Amino acid sequence: MAKRKTSKRRSSKKVSPQKKLLGLIAVAVIAVGFLLFTGEVPEVVQEMLPPELRDILFKESPTDTPTPETPTASETLQPGTPAMNLPKIAGNSFNDSFNKSKRMLTEMHVEAGQMLTFYCGSRFDADNKVYHDDSGFHFKSDEKRSNRLEWEHVTPASAFGQSFSEWRDGHPECEDSKGKSFKGRKCAEKMNMTYRYMQADLYNLRPAIGEVNGRRNNYTFTMLEGEEREFGTCNMEIRDSKAEPPDNRYGDAARNYMYMEAAYPGHGIISNQNEKLFAAWNKQDPVDEWECERIRLIEKIQGNKNTIVEDACQAAGL
């Protein structure tokens, strides 16, 4: 009996079509009002939206492309401006396989002769083995994983994944072989093509030491007090469910988040508290030659431009 009662409570048949329509209209008006006047919808309002309406307002088609009138990043992102003031640009619509992305990136780095990990500067090879002879890195607790290369989502998958109903609530088709329902990343990956495109976006993936990737987990970036070192001389700080990259990676990390926010708007990728931080990091750590070359190589593979970094490279003459 308990199961039948639960099923009835979850059913929408008790709500008349007229009341349901009025409710959808009311919540939609509130959400659109916030979008028009503030440029974003508070999380509490987003949670009021039913999944189908959330999908319409906050998910874009994988094949969406910017119109010719779309402004460039340099036109909208001025020094000191919060990171949310970004243009809408085209995201990845080329490849939806995370595993394929990792293989393509390994090949790209090998061909370009760029064989250093993103945070700690350890060398890696075409077989995804990592060597710490010259980097000063020392493992904390997992020596085996510290010698393995992994491709890290600089903007964690959970940062955009939780905007998908499949991640938050699951899906009727997300059941394992024993009939047990599941949700989260596994369900979003199975059921939602837009999520898969975002997860596989080459611009958001950087080569990382396996242990560092595991310790960083899905923690957001912030400024941490002190200068603790848990990986030898590598200036990657992780504690209290937060992470701070080395200062020579501040700008790279900030522009990575900005690209993801611009390419996939409406997914809540940059939090309000990090808008000013990323804008500051963007100025503090300008682009370098490899960051500029990297986006050109990725564009050749993936097809879409990263105008956030491209405009900065043009301004720097790189």
Give residue 141's pLDDT.
96
The residue that leads in pLDDT, 21 or 307, is: 307
Average pLDDT score, the chain? 83
The residue that leads in pLDDT, 79 or 50, is: 50
- Tell me the average pLDDT across 222-233: 93
Lowest mean pLDDT among 33-42, 145-154, 224-233: 33-42
Give residue 20's pLDDT.
56
Give residue 25's pLDDT.
73
Distance CA 113, CA 108 (A): 9
- 163 pLDDT tier (thresholds 50, 70, 90): very high
Give residue 113's pLDDT.
98
Give residue 195's pLDDT.
98
Q: Is the pLDDT of residue 19 over 80?
A: no
Token code pair at residue 105: 């990136």
Give residue 212's pLDDT.
98
The residue that leads in pLDDT, 315 or 4, is: 315
Give residue 77's pLDDT.
37
Q: Residue 26's Cα: distance from chain center in Å?
A: 31
- 82 pLDDT tier (thresholds 50, 70, 90): very low
Cα distances from 197 to residues 30, 52, 136, 174, 292, in angstroms, run 29, 20, 35, 19, 23
Give residue 72's pLDDT.
35
Give residue 123's pLDDT.
98
Give residue 31's pLDDT.
63
| CB-count burial class (<10 Å; 0-12, 13-18, 19+) for 233 | exposed
Backbone angles phi, psi at 231, to 5 degrees: -120, 50
Provide long-range contacts, Cβ within 8 A and 24+ apart, for 32-38.
Answer: 32/57
Residues 232-291: pLDDT tens digits?
999 999 999 999 999 999 999 999 999 999 999 999 999 888 999 999 999 999 999 999
Where do the structural domains in the chain lie, given as residue ranges? 18-58, 59-316
Q: Containing H/E element for 5?
A: helix 2-10
Rg, the chain, Cα only: 21
Distance CA 12, CA 154 (A): 39
- 45 pLDDT tier (thresholds 50, 70, 90): low
State if pTM tops 0.95. no
